[in-house]
Structure 1
């Protein structure tokens, strides 16, 4: 089909064509970036935690008379919780994955290092944390009983822990390509902590930067402030275990206040709720843009068919088939959509550059551009189809009517 008549017709209707092209460019830019953000948010919400989430629950309880017998009460609580049917192990810690707390420490690999290498989160293992959490050791060993210390003794300086377990991600960051076992870590003093074990994956309670989400350390420390109980139950209803565990803690100490009890699945859902809400909002924006763009194409094409009826009738009288008329409007629309998409791709990258600068978002992968273009091309051809089919039904006799 000769493209010259189409270009000539568009020059006579350039304002309307430019408006549709601008609308398509704007839709292309927003849709590419919104789709990228949706995929990024959904991938983030599926972030590996490294723990057996489906079997774990957390209980936060506070006593009104914590004193010198705090550790004795914790041991009594652990024994009571272990007696609950379905509970296979119990541990204490001051924070949990996706718990939104923030216990962090700067890490150095040499005592004379001025700047920290990385800021890692710190978990305090009150005993059996690895087995309770379901953490997988990929190197080294777990803590031995004689390596555990009470938090109060560590805080007062009476004792200094000498061993630590870290995540594989942190090990790779501190010593790229080197075995981490028995390597020293320094944290605010000249006394080193020796790496005795490496777990495959463990996520932070609060994630500020996805690239450091798995930089974690585990200390053999009991009785830290904000101690929480983590129970692992197998073959049991976790909601039922929560009720039993809450009742057990209150029975052991009637004046205890249980501040919260939830499964790790609930913790994940609560932590990533905003990501899911944002994804839904962005999907709504995409659908709205596609609908508005489709309506714009349909409206413009219908308007042109109405105004060009005599011209269409003349072409039919000169031998143009219905297929020729259909292809004419489809090609005309394809040219408008393509020009809009071309500018939309540049705009998409410009918007992404602005988002990277102001919101620290990653760079838009190039494959989102042809995906957005293909979607808009398909939308354009489907939208113009009905007006184009109406044009094919214009009879040749229309050519004899007065303009």
Structure 2
């Protein structure tokens, strides 16, 4: 028999400790539910497929100060030289870097501006005919640019008439899947879609449309440039160690800076999210430990307060299992009320986080899973003190002090 009624009356006579524990369980459930959901969301975000062989790609910046050569001609020579380095798969100029948190974006529409039409926001990069292969993305429809379709200039007077887009952007603009061969507008400039690539993330993974990417064959040669190099697997560091010397040997009136891997750019961009996830894991661990210690301490306190009562019951023939059951049921009653309050608070807290911090709506499964875990943890925390109470000697507990 669970003896719920006498246990309830006993709790009412000593309710301060029970209420404090109830509040602690409720707070733990509310916070841990949301923290666990955010952690899982961050893990999915941090481990998402980007479409790039990140471990094989590196980027570096070039700043030219020499005036005795044309930047566009020099960059073509540089690209050709980079492709000759042992271990290099391909190399290309790129206006921006994906996964870095820094880039360019615009609306691409079905009609020229300022006409009203369906449009989609997308990041875009200026690259040449080697860009797609250098980034290692998969061309799933159409073709790559030809060399004569790439506009190399030192101003923005002319722009290419073709474009390669990601599948995500094509599907958003053309839901029927017939984007290949269609024209879209970059402002009032028509661009014909000649190719579609599979998964390809833009500069902002936190963006509402991170998969929307447009690749435009356009090189604006200036004193500053960015090069992307893809190497054979395992050869990246070796090539990175040689690239500055090779570039300066090709033309020495410039500075080579920020040689870094694509994965390093991504890691730096995601540093805040990684830190937040680790802090939440620490918070969950501390909350669970504090709650477990609270349950453990309250049970020990109740045992010390009820030593004579326990001894009397033992002297009257109560089995050890009955004593253990008493404390388990008492803890379960406190925990159940705390969990109900905590689950309601968790859903409310989830709504606040969604409204103020653009976090996805809390999945109720996380609340149920957290409540179940806290309930099991509370039973385990009370088990050792309950066994200790069951081993109290009747002769010691019932003697007059």
- Which TM-score band (shorter chain)? over 0.9
Equivalent pairs, count: 398
Instruction: Check the 8 A contact 1:106/1:116 in 2, yes or no.
Output: no
1:195 to 193, 196, 207: 193
- Specify whether residues 304 and 115 from structure 1 end up closer, same or farther in structure 2 by C-alpha distance, changes over 3 A only: farther
Give the structure 2 partner of residue 330 of structure 1. 328
Alpha carbons of structure 1 residues 313 and 198: separation in structure 2 relative to 1, 3 Å: same
Cross-structure match for 1:170: 169
Change (3 A) 1:208 1:70: same
Matched, 1:108 2:85: no
Question: Does the residue aligned with 1:165 lie in a helix, a strand or coil?
Answer: strand
Measure how far apart 1:106 and its partner are: 1.4
User: Match for 2:360 among 347, 359, 362?
Assistant: 362
SS at match of 2:268: helix
Counterpart-to-counterpart distance in 2, 1:177 and 1:339: 53
| Alpha-carbon distance in 2 for matches of 1:396, 1:262 | 73
SS of equivalent residue, structure 2 residue 154: helix
| Separation in 1, partners of 2:234, 2:326 | 67
Deviations 1:87-130 (A, max 9, x none): 12111111121122221111211236437722211111122111
Find the aligned partners of 1:76 and 1:308 in 2 and give their Cα distance: 88
Relative distance call for 1:115 and 1:177 in structure 2 (3 A) is closer
Question: Secondary structure of the residue that 2:61 maps to in structure 1?
Answer: strand
Among 189, 211, 216, the residue aligned to 1:214? 211
**Structure 2 match to 1:352:** 350
| Structure 1 unmatched ranges of 5 or more | none
Say if 2:97 and 2:103, in contact at 8 Å, map to a contact too. Answer: no
Partner of 2:150: 148
Deviation digits for residues 165-214 of structure 1, max 9, x if unmatched? 1111111221223311122211221x4211111111111112342x4111
Of 276, 296, 299 in structure 1, the residue corresponding to residue 297 of structure 2 is: 299
TM-score, reference length from structure 2: 0.94
2: distance between equivalents of 1:306 and 1:65? 85
1 CA distance for matches of 2:234 and 2:168?
Answer: 33
Gaps of 5+ in 2: none
Q: Deviations over 1:56-107 (max 9, x none)?
A: 1111111013687111100111121112111121111111211222211112
Equivalent residues in 2 for 1:2-401 (5 A)?
2-65=3-66, 69-111=70-112, 113-114=115-116, 117-152=119-154, 155-156=156-157, 159-189=158-188, 191-209=189-207, 211-223=208-220, 226-398=224-396, 400-401=398-399
